[in-house]
Structure 1
Amino acid sequence: MKEQVAVPKAEFRSYYGRPVLKPPVWEWKIPAYLFTGGLSAGSALLGAGADLTDRPVLRRAGRLGALGALAASMYLLVADLGRPERFLHMLRVAKPSSPMSMGTWILVAYGPGAGVAAVAELVPAKLAKTWPGRLLRWAARPAGLSAAAIAPAVASYTSVLLSQTAVPGWHAAYRQLPFVFTGSAAASGAGLGLVCAPVAEAGPARRLAVVGAAAEVVASKLVDQRLGLISQAYTTGRAHRLRRWAEYLTVGGAVGALAGRRSRAVSVVSGLALLAGSALQRFGVFEAGVESTKDPKYVVVPQRERLSRARGR
């Protein structure tokens, strides 16, 4: 019998099969916060475009949607933090190396513009003739444009926040998640515009829906294909089901947006599909990250692969 001269290759395992990392303690409020923040950013961008192209109903929907979604996003964030003063404490410093700190200041820069633009839409006709009303109406366009300029950062900073954690499913997708979140934000903002605006004014929303849906779906497919073993966290289980339905709804909503140029009913249904698809995408990404912390292979195997490549070099 030939003597074995090498130790058999070890398989990955953890201490008594227990998870290497603790799963995130975040609840549903965080993926909901991710969705509403993206919706606010997409709506602000659409509202600014509608303002520049003289589409008053679409402009009103975009501006009010941006402020309403931002308020919901801030409520969800503060509710998850547990105590409102924790958010205020983050304003004491600005730390460029901290995505949470930078995200806080991005929201601080974005909020006033979105707020002024939205409040201007609510000025009654009588008040609009007074000097405060005229001043507010005059400030609405620059405020809306400033919010639109910061909107891409609002849409994408949460992806940086997730990818800078130790969660394997989020950290490994740091290249793709900003495009997934930004595309999803654009699609959701377009969806709100399709729901609220008449067909005659919904042209920018239809175009934004197609661009946002394409960016979201392509980036999401890259997540499935380029993360190696960690892609399994996205392509199996509940995360896969959520993301699959997100893709169906997003693609269907974009196709419906193009097909519904003359149909108000089709535009509304398409807008609702885009909103639902965007929400499911955020919940799917969140679920994939949580699941990637529960199985030790998502931590151990990539670490060993990185060590092997380092030894090879």
Structure 2
Amino acid sequence: MWTWEVPAYFWLGGMAAGAYVTASLAHGFGSADDRRATAGGYYLAAAALVPCAPLLIADLGRPDRFHHMLRIFKPLSPMNLGAWTLTGFTPIAFARAASHAAGTGLLRGPLGALARLVPTRLAELAGCALGLTLAGYSGVLLAATNIPLWAKSKLLGGLFMASALASGSAAVTLQAARRGAPDATLHRLAALESAASAGEIAVLAGYLTQSGRTARPLTRGRFAAPFWLGAVGAGAVLPLLLHRLAGGRRGRALQSLSAVASLCTIAGSLALRWSIFEAGKDSSEDQSASFELSSG
């Protein structure tokens, strides 16, 4: 039986992907202020990835199981694809973070000289591709099981990807707000986070519609409160309202509202994965849900 390490791994891996994508978008299309304010996203991505492999290995039970998955590349196997993606994304994220640290003088000496050789644009493109794969594969992995709540809808991968982009951009916004980023940068980050949250709500609506009665353990069962109040209310709707309220604010007021909204988004992302994961266990014991899944 899968344990708590799974939703924790999904949450951290998704947030790492979202933070990396946010920082890369800012470096590719943003202003100089945007690039300076969001560069911490590379550090956030690297830090969030540190516990991911240990969490995955802990769930697998033995380290050699993780190693065995890397012996053969099976892109059609969600578990195998996820292991390979994590293995590829982690060093790229660390290399890009080291490259930025070297560019700002934080990393010096031989390591700094080596980090300056990293092709940043290539690392950004490859990291974004692998990060988005890592963010979405977790939902595909759950959907490949015979658990009714996870398998009925084909949108779980898209839902987790949208949530990852929202939580990752929120993490970048949070650190930018705490560091006193320019108002214009915070407004642009808020727009990105809000777009991801709106997309998450839209995909979630489709997921619940497709899931039908198999979603009852999530929407009406003992995990309904953390789902509706945590994942949906505090994690998606409230941040949208707070960012809307912050639209006309400047300075400290903008920074405070942005920080609170981002914290809510990050917590809501964890609540979403945890509630869907745990409610899925109840769904597996629901005979009517299993019948609905098998009947198409």
> Could you state the TM-score of these two structures normalised by the residue count of structure 1?
0.82
What is the identity, as a one-letter code, of the residue corresponding to 1:152?
L
Alpha-carbon deviations, 1:243-300, whole Å to 9, x = none?
Answer: 2121112121133234335211111111101101111111111122111111222113
Secondary structure in structure 2 of the residue aligned to 1:93: coil
What is the identity, as a one-letter code, of the residue corresponding to 1:92?
R
Gap change, CA 1:110 and 1:278, over 3 Å in 2: same
1:38 matched to 2:14: yes
Secondary structure in structure 2 of the residue aligned to 1:252: helix
Alpha-carbon deviations, 1:54-94, whole Å to 9, x = none?
Answer: 33443332101111111122221122222222211111011
Task: Give the Å deviation of 1:231.
Answer: 2.4
Please say which structure displays the higher CA radius of gyration.
1
- Contact 2:16–2:46 (8 Å) recurs in 1: yes
Task: Give the Å deviation of 1:32.
Answer: 1.0
What is the identity, as a one-letter code, of the residue corresponding to 1:47?
A
- Contact 1:223–1:231 (8 Å) recurs in 2: no
For 1:73 and 1:180, locate their aligned partners in 2 and report how far apart those are by CA, in whole Å: 20
Query: 1:156 — aligned with what?
Result: 136
- Contact 2:53–2:86 (8 Å) recurs in 1: no
For 1:79 and 1:140, locate their aligned partners in 2 and report how far apart those are by CA, in whole Å: 34
Among 168, 171, 196, the residue aligned to 2:151: 171
Map 1:74-223; keep pairs closer than 5 Å: 74-123=53-102, 125=105, 128=108, 133-139=112-118, 141-142=120-121, 143-173=123-153, 175-197=154-176, 198-200=180-182, 201-223=185-207
- Contact 1:238–1:287 (8 Å) recurs in 2: no
Task: Give the Å deviation of 1:204.
Answer: 4.0
1:279 matched to 2:270: yes
- Contact 1:42–1:186 (8 Å) recurs in 2: yes
- Contact 1:224–1:234 (8 Å) recurs in 2: no
Gap change, CA 1:234 and 1:51, over 3 Å in 2: same
Gap change, CA 1:93 and 1:45, over 3 Å in 2: same
Task: Give the Å deviation of 1:114.
Answer: 0.7
What is the identity, as a one-letter code, of the residue corresponding to 2:211?
L
Secondary structure in structure 1 of the residue aligned to 2:50: helix
Task: Give the Å deviation of 1:191.
Answer: 1.1
1:294 matched to 2:285: yes
Gap change, CA 1:126 and 1:70, over 3 Å in 2: closer
Greater alpha carbon shift after TM alignment, 27-36 vs 112-121: 112-121
Task: Among all aligned residue pairs of Structure 1 and Structure 2, give the percentage whose two residues are the same amino acid.
Answer: 30
Alpha-carbon deviations, 1:131-179, whole Å to 9, x = none?
Answer: 7535523526232332123221111011111000111111112x21122
Unaligned runs of 5+ in 2: none
Alpha-carbon deviations, 1:205-250, whole Å to 9, x = none?
Answer: 2122112111111121222222232122221113322221211121
Gap change, CA 1:193 and 1:159, over 3 Å in 2: same
What is the identity, as a one-letter code, of the residue corresponding to 1:35?
W
> Could you state the TM-score of these two structures normalised by the residue count of structure 2?
0.86
Unaligned runs of 5+ in 1: 1-24, 307-313
What do you get for the CA RMSD once the two structures are aligned? 2.1
Gap change, CA 1:127 and 1:291, over 3 Å in 2: closer
Gap change, CA 1:132 and 1:211, over 3 Å in 2: same
Among 223, 245, 251, the residue aligned to 1:259: 245
For 2:40 and 2:134, locate their aligned partners in 1 and report how far apart those are by CA, in whole Å: 19
Secondary structure in structure 1 of the residue aligned to 2:138: helix
1:248 matched to 2:228: no
What is the identity, as a one-letter code, of the residue corresponding to 1:33?
Y
- Contact 2:37–2:181 (8 Å) recurs in 1: no
Query: 1:238 — aligned with what?
Result: 222
